Amino acid sequence: MKTFDVLVVGELNVDIILDDIQGFPKIGKEILAHNFNLTLGSSSAIFASNLCALGSTVAFMGKIGTDDFAVTVESSLRQKNVDTGFILKSDTYKTGATVVMNYDMDRANITFPGAMEHLKEEEVTDAILKSAKHLHLSSVFLQTALKKDIVRLFKRAKNLGLTTSMDPQWDPQETWDLDLSQLLPVIDVFLPNVLEFQFLTDSDNIASGLKKMSPIANHVVIKDGENGAHLWSDGAMVSKTAYRNDTVVDCIGAGDSFDAGFIHRYIQGKPLTECLEFGNVTGAINTTASGGTAAFKNREYIGAIAKNQFSYDIEK
């Protein structure tokens, strides 16, 4: 019997968020930010936390240090009911940290990877994989030791009967060197945003990228910000419009929250178009509070935001 609905393998770090910044940093000069927040960061952790808040059972596999940031990461995940029993602690490497500089609807990030770069594929054992029904991985480019064996990890998961998903996230080196021909056949749901998709497929638009990807992909979900999201499956593409929030607090983690909504419905066996719409709702809910997890306190809280601000019933 599986213990968890979803096993998340991914990067772990804290976010140091700066808001209301007076200008942009310049060498040799100092500027001020009038708001500051230290919170759980990492796309993978935001996904895991919000997926748990929606009602799925979730375990996390990653690597952190033994410093104060590690305490913040673990305690934050536990507060969200994410199981942290598989997380590895390193005496050699420090916990990762990201400085997030918010500017209206956009942001600039600086990340210190730390321990996240040193998680290895063989450390995600078969016993760990067997504990879950579904494997999700985020931010493959930040996990350099894992990345070189990523195809083997997903093949093992599929051979053990898990369904799979992956959000590649941004490549800081901008080389976009993933072997999609080997990787996509063992990923059931591939979840890039539109820019990541275009860079990964070396395409100018979604249509030309899908033409390249269609012979090897299963389901492709492309997040497109204010334009909503697009689903490609069985040779056809369906788009769903975004749920608009006219009072956005920030967009940190909105894509990860979309992923959580989509996968929450996907593992329940819901129609893919319903998964797509629910992803749009959870992405919009994310923008109603600062950081990636504040709007996802629990299912009742999420449901109230969905109903009151977006006229959506999450129980339907």
Q: What is the 3-state secondary structure (H, E, C) of the chain?
A: CCCEEEEEECCCEEEEEEEEECCCCCCCCCCCEEEEEEEECCHHHHHHHHHHHHCCCEEEECEECCCHHHHHHHHHHHHCCCECCCCEECCCCCCEEEEEEEECCEEEEEEECHHHHHCCHHHCCHHHHHCEEEEEEECHHHCHHHHCCHHHHHHHHHHCCCEEEEECCCCCCCCCCCCHHHHHHHCCEECCEHHHHHHHHCCCCHHHHHHHHCCCCCEEEEECHHHCEEEEECCEEEEECCCCCCCCCCCCCHHHHHHHHHHHHHCCCCCHHHHHHHHHHHHHHHCCCCCCCCCCCCHHHHHHHHHHHHCCCCCC
Quote the pLDDT of residue 284: 96
Burial code of 126-144, b = ≥16 C-beta within 10 A, e = fewer? eebbebbbbbbbbbbbbbe
Predicted confidence band of residue 190 (pLDDT cuts 50, 70, 90): very high
Residue 68 has pLDDT above 70, yes or no: yes
User: What φ, ψ does residue 244 adopt, rounded to 5°?
Assistant: -85, 135
Task: Report pTM.
Answer: 0.93
Using one digit for the tens of pLDDT, what is the confidence trace for 22-40? 999 999 999 999 999 888 8
Q: What is the pLDDT of residue 105?
A: 67
Tell me: pLDDT of 128 over 80: yes
Model confidence at 104: pLDDT above 80: no
User: Which pLDDT score, from 0 to 100, does residue 102 have?
Assistant: 83
The model's pLDDT over 201-216, given as tens digits with 9 standing for 90+, comes to 999 999 999 999 999 9
Strands lying side by side in the sheet with 219-223: 58-61, 4-9, 132-138, 163-167, 189-190, 219-223, 229-233, 236-240
How far is residue 104's CA from residue 21's CA, in Å, rounded to a whole number?
10
pLDDT at 17: 87
Is 90 exceeded by the pLDDT of residue 250?
A: no
CATH, domain 4-24+34-310, list 3.40.1190.20, 3.40.50.300, 3.40.640.10, 3.40.50.720? 3.40.1190.20
Please state which of the ranges 42-51, 121-130, 247-256 shows the lowest mean pLDDT: 247-256
Task: Work out the mean pLDDT of the chain and round it to a whole number.
Answer: 95
What pLDDT, on a 0 to 100 scale, did the predictor assign at position 252? 81
pLDDT, tens digit, 9 for 90 and up, residues 150-185: 999 999 999 999 999 999 999 999 999 999 999 999
Q: How confident is the model at residue 292 (pLDDT cuts 50, 70, 90)?
A: confident
Domain ranges of the chain: 4-24+34-310
pLDDT score for 182: 97
